[in-house]
Structure 1
Amino acid sequence: MTGQTNAQGNQSSGAATAEIQLDSTQTIKPGAYQATLTHTLVQGL
């Protein structure tokens, strides 16, 4: 019983971590792209 509960707990934690990593990637990429675009425009001027 304890082993099964731990296995399920680990699976749930892994899924939550995966979701957080996906959210972080989606949040960071547009910001990084915007910063790169701004930097390029500033250098162009």
Structure 2
Amino acid sequence: MWTDVHDKFRRHLDALADNATKLSVAAGLYRGQDASSGADIAQQM
């Protein structure tokens, strides 16, 4: 029983960690695009 609970809990935590990593990468990409867009707009003005 505890082995099953431990395995499910571990898989859940692994999934959360994977999602957090993906979110962090996406946020970094968004920030990079946002900074690039801001520089383009500033250059045009």
Instruction: Return the TM-score normalized by structure 2.
Output: 0.76
Gaps of 5+ in 2: none
Aligned residue identity for 1:39: I
Quote the sequence identity (%): 5
Q: Measure how far apart 1:5 and its partner are.
A: 1.5
1:28 aligns with 30
What does the per-residue CA deviation read over 1:1-45, in whole Å, with 9 as the maximum and x for residues that have no partner? 322221011100011011101111111111110101111222x2x
1:17 aligns with 19
Equivalent residue pairs, number: 43
Residue among 5, 8, 16 paired with 1:6: 8
Taking the aligned partners of 1:14 and 1:31, their CA distance within structure 2 comes to: 26
Aligned residue identity for 1:24: A
Gaps of 5+ in 1: none
Runs of 4+ in 1 over 4 A off after TM superposition: none
